[in-house]
């Protein structure tokens, strides 16, 4: 009798889950994974990254669904497997126990009539819930964006909700209505969605729900007055060190001197927020999050009281030199966030030291005596900030060259690649160390405590050769780093 009862309950449970979702075709998924396995063999490894997440093949862009579920961190990404260029969007998927070592999982979402554009993930009881933008190209030539859900109870297989869309359209009917970022506060779910006004100003919309399915539009959380671009993509909203942060990626901001030199920007507004009045009051204006050439669509998640961020390690319309090798796009290393002096501080994870493989250099870094590495390096430099510093980053067999520069007079630190400079004033809040992470085609520079960070793609041939080109000898400690992502 007990057994019959148990079977009955199980049957009901299965029936309930099935009734709620549309199974993604197992056939399509298996065909895709087989294709990926085969295609991977054709990839040229020269610029494949050793400790940055990238797609197994093909194209990737925005990070999605950054979350913690059933004992693992989950990170998804916009994925087009069939070419190293943008195409109909899937969600690729990796997991990690420590945010440093990553494991490849099968593609989580495949497009049907809709493309699976960016979104986020939350955990509802035992279920991992993805909320993403369904992008449809209409016969009229226009497109339509609405918000969809997908569910998983194992963190591997995801099925789309039968009742999609859960949010059919923007209050003003704008076709640009995407990148939902959801979170829970008290008894309610909240989601913010990037959009624009009818006169082309970026804005972020706030919604609330009791069940993730029925959503109520609450308010416009933030909006450009005309100076912050025509569209806000990939919004995020979170509490950090007693403040609230509205993070987003505005498109269409004009360059101002050293600022906003990338095609599109990623930055944030720090302020206060009240869940009763739903008012977000900025304390300071928009600030760029990362000053490098390649950082976009950043997304955060919180676990164990820590707030982490990952960005797309690329920029729209920049050359992706790796595309001829069968892949394009990557993620930055994960960074831990805090706020000091109304500015976001980004620090590499403490666990990054676990990747140190062998000590390559230690002590004096003399002028014009290069240090040579393999494909990876972590370099810690201590110099006198009252004097200039200039470090040349190049390949042992040629390729692209980059410079890291500190100008003591203007107090600007910067990265220059092919004459294209990104720089910003740096007033250290503590440490005056430069910490540089080099991977097979990338450089990340963390200044001091992480108050100034640059992320740029850079393509050397062979291994890395780093030279101190200034008159000032500095102190160096440098390591080669282990692989922590699938090949």
Ligand X SMILES: *[C@@H]1O[C@H](CO)[C@@H](O)[C@H](O)[C@H]1NC(C)=O
Interaction site with ligand X (CB under 6 A): 138, 144, 146, 165, 168-169
Question: Could you tell me the smallest distance in angstroms from the CB atom of residue 111 to ligand X?
Answer: 15
Query: Would residue 211 show up in a list of annotated catalytic residues for this protein?
Result: no
When the beta carbons of 4 and 142 are compared against ligand X, the nearer one is: 142
- Left (φ > 0), alpha (ψ -120 to 50) or beta: where does 264 sit? beta
Nearer to ligand X, 50 or 135 (CB): 135
CA distance 343 to 328: 31
Nearer to ligand X, 107 or 146 (CB): 146
The least CB distance from residue 483 to ligand X, in Å, is 43
Query: Judged by CB, which is closer to ligand X: 115, or 441?
Result: 115
At which residue do the structure tokens 């998924």 appear? Answer: 29
Shortest Cβ distance from residue 175 to ligand X (Å)? 8
Using alpha carbons, list the distances in angstroms from residue 369 to 461, 467, 470, 484: 20, 6, 11, 30
- Total Cβ atoms within 10 A of residue 411: 13
Residue recorded with tokens 């998804």: 76
Q: Which of 28, 62, 179, 418 is catalytic?
A: 62
C-alpha distances out from residue 40 to 35, 56, 85, 102, Å = 8, 7, 16, 17
Residue nearer to ligand X on the CB measure, 67 or 164: 164
Query: Shortest gap between Cβ of 135 and ligand X (angstroms)?
Result: 10
Instruction: Find the length of the chain.
Output: 487
- For ligand X, give the closer residue by CB, 163 or 430: 163
Q: How far is the CB of 142 from ligand X (least distance, A)?
A: 7
Give me the least distance between CB of 18 and ligand X, in Å please: 22
* Residues annotated as part of the active site: 62
């Amino acid at each position: 009798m007990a057994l019959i009862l148990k079977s009955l309950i199980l049957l009901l449970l299965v029936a309930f889950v099935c009734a709620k979702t549309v199974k993604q075709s197992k056939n399509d998924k298996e065909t895709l994974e087989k294709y990926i396995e085969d295609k991977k063999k054709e990839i040229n490894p020269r610029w494949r990254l050793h400790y940055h997440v990238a797609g197994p093949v093909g194209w990737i862009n925005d990070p999605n669904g950054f979350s913690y579920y059933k004992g693992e961190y989950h990170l998804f990404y916009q994925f087009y497997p069939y070419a190293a260029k943008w195409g109909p969007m899937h969600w690729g998927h990796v997991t990690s126990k420590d945010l440093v070592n990553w494991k490849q999982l099968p593609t989580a979402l495949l497009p049907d009539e809709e493309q699976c554009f960016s979104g986020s993930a939350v955990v509802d009881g035992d279920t991992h819930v993805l909320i993403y933008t369904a992008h449809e190209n209409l016969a009229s030539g226009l497109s339509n964006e609405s918000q969809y859900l997908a569910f998983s109870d194992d963190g591997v297989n995801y099925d789309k909700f039968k009742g999609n869309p859960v949010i059919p359209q923007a209050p003003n009917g704008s076709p640009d209505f995407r990148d939902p970022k959801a979170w829970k506060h008290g008894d309610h779910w909240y989601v913010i969605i990037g959009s624009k006004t009818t006169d082309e100003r970026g804005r972020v919309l706030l919604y609330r729900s009791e069940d993730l399915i029925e959503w109520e539009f609450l308010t416009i959380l933030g909006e450009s007055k005309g100076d912050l671009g025509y569209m806000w993509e990939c919004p995020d909203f979170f509490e950090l060190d007693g403040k609230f942060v509205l993070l987003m990626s505005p498109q269409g901001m004009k360059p101002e001197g050293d600022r906003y030199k990338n095609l599109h920007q990623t930055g944030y507004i720090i302020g206060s927020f009240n869940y009763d009045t739903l008012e977000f009051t900025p304390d300071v204006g928009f600030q760029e999050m990362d000053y490098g050439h390649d950082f976009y669509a950043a997304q955060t998640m919180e676990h164990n009281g820590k707030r982490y961020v990952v960005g797309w390690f690329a920029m729209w319309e920049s050359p992706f030199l790796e595309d001829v090798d069968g892949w394009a796009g990557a993620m930055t290393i994960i960074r831990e966030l805090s706020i000091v002096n109304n500015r976001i501080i980004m620090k590499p994870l403490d666990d990054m030291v676990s990747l140190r493989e062998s000590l390559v250099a230690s002590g004096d870094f003399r002028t014009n005596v290069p240090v040579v590495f393999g494909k990876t390096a972590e370099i810690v430099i201590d110099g006198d900030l009252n004097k200039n510093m200039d470090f040349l980053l190049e390949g042992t067999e040629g390729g692209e060259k980059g410079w890291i520069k500190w100008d003591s007079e203007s107090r600007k630190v910067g990265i220059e690649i092919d004459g294209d400079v990104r720089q910003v004033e740096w007033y250290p809040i503590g440490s005056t160390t430069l910490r540089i992470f080099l991977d097979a085609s990338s450089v990340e520079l963390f200044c001091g405590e992480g108050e100034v960070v640059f992320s740029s793609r850079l393509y050397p041939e062979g291994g890395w050769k780093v030279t101190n080109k200034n008159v000032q000898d500095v102190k160096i400690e440098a390591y080669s780093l282990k692989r922590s992502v699938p090949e």
